Amino acid sequence: MTIRPLHAIDEFRQVLELEKAIWGYEDAGDAVGIPVFVITVKRGGILLGAFDGGRMIGFVYSLVGLKHGRPMQWSHMLGVVPEHRASGIGRVLKLEQRRLALDMGLDLMEWTYDPLVAVNAHLNFRRLGVVVEDYVLNAYGDSSSSLHKGTPTDRFIAQWWMRTPRVETIVSAPAADPAPLPDAPPVNRVIDDGTWLACAGVDVTREDPVVVMSIPAGFNDMLEREPALGDEWRMASREVFGHYLARGYRVVDFSFGPGAREGRYLLSSVPEARRA
Domains, the chain, ranges and CATH? 2-172 (3.40.630.30), 188-273 (no CATH)
Sheet-wide strand order for 131-136: 2-5, 46-52, 55-67, 70-80, 108-113, 155-161, 131-136, 250-256, 262-268, 210-216
Determine the pLDDT at residue 151. 81
Q: How confident is the model at residue 257 (pLDDT cuts 50, 70, 90)?
A: confident
**pLDDT bracket for residue 264 (50, 70, 90):** very high
Using CA atoms, how far residue 25 sits from 76, 79, 112, in Å, is 16, 13, 18
pLDDT tens per residue, range 160-206: 999 999 999 999 999 998 899 999 999 999 999 888 999 999 999 99
Residue, of 237 and 151, whose pLDDT is higher: 237
- Kindly list the distances between the CA atom of residue 238 and the CA atoms of 145, 152, 261, in Å, as whole numbers in the listed order: 21, 10, 20
pLDDT at residue 252, rounded to an integer? 97
pLDDT in tens, 80-106: 999 988 889 999 999 999 999 999 999
Q: Report yes or no: 120 and 114 within 8 Å, Cβ to Cβ.
A: yes
